[in-house]
């Protein structure tokens, strides 16, 4: 994690940058963040010629084009591809039964020829794998693991239990082109540091500046893991959240749960993504999503932005779980301060 470069690379999803307010909360939290989070264990960086495994740890793949397109995209980047049996297995809405999916995940994690794992999709099912994973076999077998949505379960569990850095990024059925691919390779292959991410849709909910360990993922999944022992300590972290197809009242309920269990009191900053299809069915009887976010974050004493390009959208950033980052609302940016790979 000490690999640092003396230049700044900026990736912007779009043209332009929204400048936030100028009042900043004074937050000195990084010492606390480092002392209360496990020591980050990064995987080896990807390089051309490495093998990436495609598998479905959660939902079944019902569109065969998903595997074909993902294989073509990764091959075009210069990687070899190994497709798992879960890519074609089906058990209801799952890609095979729990033991089957867990076995394949463990097999790819311990396969010395495999350098990375890209989940083909999210859906639901990763939490069902947790009882079947032998985590004692994984130290020394760190891989670049990429996915979002339900894959959040695996990303957070591996960090909580092993300190393993993984990546909230594209899945197999993502649109692998343009900014998404460029950003993915910059983080997992080129390891550029410091690495600035910004996009014009970002708006400030509460102005400020903070440094902390980057932890997060899908909002519903994070809430579903509360009390399971598979969530990391959020103290001193910059929490990033993404969601889709949840009405404002449901987002309100989920954020209330994070607040009631103390997570929102522990973090030093929040990055909320673009919540796709999160409008109310009956707007006249509902708060807007912006009003819900204002309610939960406007009075916080740490920086909060919304509209960041992560999650269920076409062009997305790849955010590593478990590395030091900087949130600056005046610049509308999230900056990785250390390499997520070695």
Residue spans per domain, the chain: 9-38+194-336, 51-190
- Angle, helix 248-260 to helix 289-297, in steps of 10 degrees: 10
* 83, 107 Cβ separation under 8 angstroms: no
Mean pLDDT, contiguous 10-residue spans, the chain (342 residues): 38 39 33 50 97 98 95 97 98 98 98 98 97 97 97 98 97 92 96 89 95 97 98 97 91 97 98 86 88 96 96 93 96 95 94
pLDDT value for 313: 86
CATH 3.50.30.60 for domain 9-38+194-336, yes or no, is: yes
Q: Output the pLDDT for position 245.
A: 79
pLDDT of residue 32: 40
Query: What torsion, rounded to 10 degrees, do the Cα atoms 265, 266, 270, 276 define?
Result: -80
Q: Pairing relation of β-strands 209-218 and 237-242?
A: parallel
Report d(CA 237, CA 28) in Å as an integer. 12
Looking at the domain 51-190, which fold is it?
A: Rossmann fold (3.40.50)
User: Looking up tokens 């819900």, which residue turns up?
Assistant: 292
Q: How many Cα atoms occupy the beta-carbon half-sphere of 98 within 13 Å?
A: 10
> Could you please report the per-residue DSSP string of 167-226?
EE---TTS--SHHHHHHHHIIIII--SSEEEE-TT-EEEE--EEEEEEEEEEHHHHHHTT
**CA atoms in the 13 A half-sphere facing the CB of 5:** 16
Q: How far apart are CA 257 and CA 225, in angstroms?
A: 11
pLDDT at 13: 59
What are the structure tokens assigned to 67, written together? 């595997």
pLDDT of residue 70: 97
Q: pLDDT tens digits, residue range 52-61?
A: 999 999 999 9
């Amino acid at each position: 994690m000490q690999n640092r470069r003396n230049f700044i690379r900026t990736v912007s999803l779009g043209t332009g940058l929204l400048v936030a307010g100028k009042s900043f909360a004074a937050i000195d939290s990084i010492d606390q963040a480092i002392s209360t989070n496990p020591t980050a264990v990064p995987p080896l960086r990807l390089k051309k010629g490495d093998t990436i495994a495609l598998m479905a740890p959660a939902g079944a793949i019902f569109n065969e084009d998903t595997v074909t397109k993902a294989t073509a995209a990764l091959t075009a980047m210069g990687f070899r591809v190994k497709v798992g049996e879960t890519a074609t297995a089906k058990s209801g809405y799952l890609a095979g039964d729990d033991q089957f999916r867990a076995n394949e995940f463990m097999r790819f994690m311990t396969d010395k020829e495999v350098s990375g794992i890209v989940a083909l999709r999210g859906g639901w099912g990763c939490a069902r794998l947790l009882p079947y994973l032998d985590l004692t076999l994984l130290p020394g077998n760190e891989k670049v693991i990429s996915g979002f949505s339900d894959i959040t379960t695996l990303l957070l569990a591996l960090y909580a239990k092993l300190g393993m850095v993984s990546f909230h990024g594209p899945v197999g059925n993502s649109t692998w082109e343009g900014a998404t691919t460029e950003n993915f390779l910059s983080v997992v292959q080129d390891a550029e540091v410091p690495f600035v991410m910004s996009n014009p849709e970002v708006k400030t909910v509460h102005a400020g500046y903070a440094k902390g360990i980057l932890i997060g993922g899908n909002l519903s999944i994070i809430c579903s893991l509360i009390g399971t022992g598979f969530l990391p300590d959020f103290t001193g972290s910059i929490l990033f959240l993404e969601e889709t197809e949840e009405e404002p009242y449901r987002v309100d309920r989920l954020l209330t749960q994070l607040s009631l269990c103390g997570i929102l009191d522990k973090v030093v900053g929040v990055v909320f993504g673009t919540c796709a299809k999160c409008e109310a069915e009956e707007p006249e009887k509902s708060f807007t999503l912006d009003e819900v976010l204002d309610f939960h974050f406007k009075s916080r004493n740490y920086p909060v932005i919304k509209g960041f390009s992560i999650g269920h959208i076409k062009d997305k950033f790849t955010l590593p779980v478990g590395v030091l980052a900087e949130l600056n609302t005046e610049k509308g940016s999230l900056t990785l301060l250390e390499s997520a790979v070695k």
